[in-house]
Amino acid sequence: MSVTDHQQTVRTGGSVRAKREPGGGALPGWWRASVARSRVELRAFFRNKQSLIFTLLFPVLMLVVFGSIFDGKVEGTDTDLKQLFIAGIIAAGVMSTAFSGLAINVAIERDTGTVRRLAMTPMPKSAYFTGKLVRVVVTTLLETALLLILAVALFALPLPSSPERWLTLAWVLTLGTVACTLLAFAYSAAIPNSRSAAAIVTPVFMVMQFISGVFFPFGQLPQWMQTTAAFFPLKWMAQGFRSVFLPDSFAAVEPAGNWELGAIALVLGLWSVAGLALTAWTFRWRGPRVR
C-alpha cells in the first residue's frame, strides 16, 4: 500500500473521525466504524498494484509454472503430482493473503504514521482489526476462487465430490484464514520498518511452503522437516485441502495414515487463540508522529 493511499485514507474519513450529529448525537459505534474502515481497506488494497501482484498474483504464478512442470504420479499412489501440488498451493494462497500481505501492510501503515493517527481518533481500536479482517477474508476468498478456477481449467483438478468435502473446505479455509491473520498482527511487531518488511516476512513464507508439503509430498520430506512443520498452521491447512481434493486412498501415504481432520481443527483453532493472545500482547499503536 502506498503512502498516498494511506494519507488519503485519513483525509477522506477512513480513520473514522467521529463527529457528533447536530444536536449532540453520539459518536459512531463499533459497527459504523468497522464498516467505514472495511471500505477504506478494500478500496486501498485494490487500488495498489504492488499489493495485487505480490499478494494475489504470486500464488497464481506459482500454480501455473509449477503445475506445468510437475508430472507423473506420487510414489505408491495413483495421484498426479500436480494434483498434490495444487492442493498445497491453495493453502499457500491463504498464507499469502492472510499472513504475508497483512504483516507487510501493517508495517507500512506504521511507517506512514497511519497506525498512530488512527489510535488518536475516536474510532474504536477494534474497528481497525475488523477492517483488516474483512480485507483479508475478501482477498482470501478471491485468491482461493481464482486458484480453483485456474486449477480446474488448466490442470483438471476435481472439485469436492460431496457435501462433506465442501464443508471441510469451508472450515479449513475459515480457521486457516483467522489463524494466519492474527499471527500477521503479532508478527508485525518484529518488523522494524516498511523497508525491511518484505525481507523479514517473505523468507518465513517461502520456508514454510518447502517444509509443509506444498511443493513435495509431505511424507517424503525428512523427519525433522515434518516435525518442525507440524508446529505451524500451513502444514495443517495443506493437509486439510488434500483431504478435500485428493482421493481417500491418498490418506494411506500421509504420515499418520489418515487425514487427521480432528487434529487439523484442533491445531488451527489453537493457533487462532494463540494469535489473538500474541496480538494483544505485542501489537503497539506506534509510528512516527504525523501532523
224-252: average pLDDT: 95
d(CA 136, CA 113): 21
For helices 233-245 and 197-211, give the axis angle rounded to 10 degrees: 50
Identify the weakest region by mean pLDDT among 61-65, 171-175, 234-238: 61-65
pLDDT at residue 25 tops 60: no
Q: What is the pLDDT of residue 23?
A: 43
SS3 81: helix
Mean pLDDT (whole number) for 180-209:
94
Continuous H helices in the chain: 3-11, 30-47, 49-51, 58-69, 81-95, 101-111, 114-119, 125-155, 163-187, 197-211, 223-229, 233-245, 261-282
Would you state the pLDDT for residue 77?
A: 86
* pLDDT attached to residue 27: 55
Q: Residue 101 corresponds to which cell in the numbers above?
A: 500481505
Checking if the pLDDT of 232 tops 60, the result is yes
Alpha helices in 70-119 (DSSP H): 81-95, 101-111, 114-119
Residue 14 has pLDDT above 50, yes or no: no
Average pLDDT over residues 154-170: 93
- Report the alpha-carbon distance of residue 118 to residue 216 in Å, rounded: 43
For residue 46, the one-letter residue type is F
Distance, in Å, from the CA atom of 85 to the CA atom of 66, rounded to the nearest integer, reads: 8
pTM: 0.87
> What CA–CA distance (Å, rounded) separates 180 from 197?
17
Strand partners, 80: 73
Q: How far apart are CA 271 and CA 180, in angstroms?
A: 8
Backbone dihedral region of 48: left (phi > 0), alpha (psi from -120 to 50 degrees) or beta? beta
Closest alpha carbon to 95 in 124, 55, 43: 55
d(CA 124, CA 127): 6
Secondary structure (3-state) at 80:
strand
> Which CB contacts under 8 angstroms, 24+ apart, belong to 155-161?
155/67, 155/82, 155/83, 155/86, 157/83, 157/86, 157/245, 158/83, 158/245, 159/245, 160/244, 160/245
Average pLDDT, the chain: 87
- Asked if residue 229 has pLDDT above 90, the reply is yes
pLDDT for position 145? 95
Here the cell at position 111 is 511507517
Q: Are 99 and 206 in contact (CB under 8 A)?
A: no
- Cα 276–Cα 277–Cα 278 angle in degrees, nearest 5: 95
